[in-house]
Amino acid sequence: MDVQQLLTSFKETFGSEANRVFFAPGRINLIGEHTDYNGGHVFPCAITFGTYGVARKREDSLVRLYSLNFKETGIIEFDVDDLEYDTHHEWANYPKGMIRYLKEADHAIDTGMDVLFYGNIPNGAGLSSSASIELATGVLLEGLFGLDVERIELVKTGQRVENEFIGVNSGIMDQFAIGMGKKGAGILLDTHTLQYQYAPIDLEHHNIIIMNSNKRRELAGSKYNERRTECESALQSLQSVTDIDSLGELTEEEFELHKHVIRSETEQKRARHAVYENRRTLKALQCLQDGKLQEFGELMNESHLSLRDDYEVTGKELDALAQAAWDQPGVVGARMTGAGFGGCAIAIVEKDFVERFINGVGKQYKEAIGYEATFYVASIGDGATELDKEVII
């Protein structure tokens, strides 16, 4: 599909011509999982799959939203001054929340708008389709209404929508990667301070393969919030003997020295993952800077095992994908990506082995799980932006 087709769909849906096109990518996290809300480091990158928003301002106060991905819900309408969460509005609560919080921050969104959304991120796959639509809406509002808004403000607004409007207690990684992404680079982000640096990812002879388990992942209904609560409890226990604000401040040695104060074995496992995963992420950056891709892959493998054994968020589907990937030739490393409980895994694979990899993992996964996985060859792209109308998507 190209932008012209989206413009045609807009006219068919709303009866008028759209004049602006915006895009926000999805993201994968190469390493550093469930560390973002624990004050640790993450290492995500934006991908070239994402969410498109085709838009036109209206002269009245009516907001009309339509998604080509959820045609069954039809056009969802509300007033630009009536921005309460509404369960009947389903997916449209994400853009509605962005409008609400930017208005509350005194940005002048003073008329309604017609917006057609289209996403080519598999829904529920764990590639952050929700943060993608949040940031697509953010840059759309910025462009349509000429808002003077810093990119980091859009990033934080997206997280606030997720936390307060939708009710998922997630960290800032997804919105940050999508808002700040850079072609050909990962972002090492300190989620505690929001300091970040870009790290070029040289994959001249390798591809990143996204493996969708095709088990849908619904964060709000998962054990995500439970994991966060367990980590907060472990942190409180550690604060009785250490002067820290987050688990991300601890080294492995410091954790091992003080872990006995965490009485719950489960909470101790959760904290161990947060501490060790944070350190793995810092080591991973160094590996890339030193050109040691194989060592980076080994850290990816260790990350999955920790998520499986200590954090317990993988599940049989993601474990089957990881194991099948490890069994293939030409694989540098593989791990689940995202929150877990279904969704996707990723692998770095030598280009000469990609076709064999997809066939091998696909066969092994179907034998183990009973249904098929889906595979995507990912490219690392730029963050949320306005598009030229001639862009092919």
pLDDT of 223:
81
- Choose among 280, 287, 322: nearest CA to 304: 322
pLDDT of 85:
98
* Domains, the chain, ordered by start: 3-25+44-185+383-387 (3.30.230.10)
Which segments in the chain show pLDDT lower than 50?
A: 220
Rounded to whole angstroms, how far apart are CA atoms 232 and 267?
Answer: 9
- Choose among 127, 190, 135: nearest CA to 162: 135
Rounded to whole angstroms, how far apart are CA atoms 172 and 156?
Answer: 7
Rounded to whole angstroms, how far apart are CA atoms 97 and 82?
Answer: 11
Q: Output the pTM of the full model.
A: 0.88
Which two structure tokens, joined as six digits, stand for 225? 């919030």
Among 36, 174, 190, 319, the one annotated catalytic: 174
190 catalytic, yes or no? Answer: no
pLDDT of 225:
84
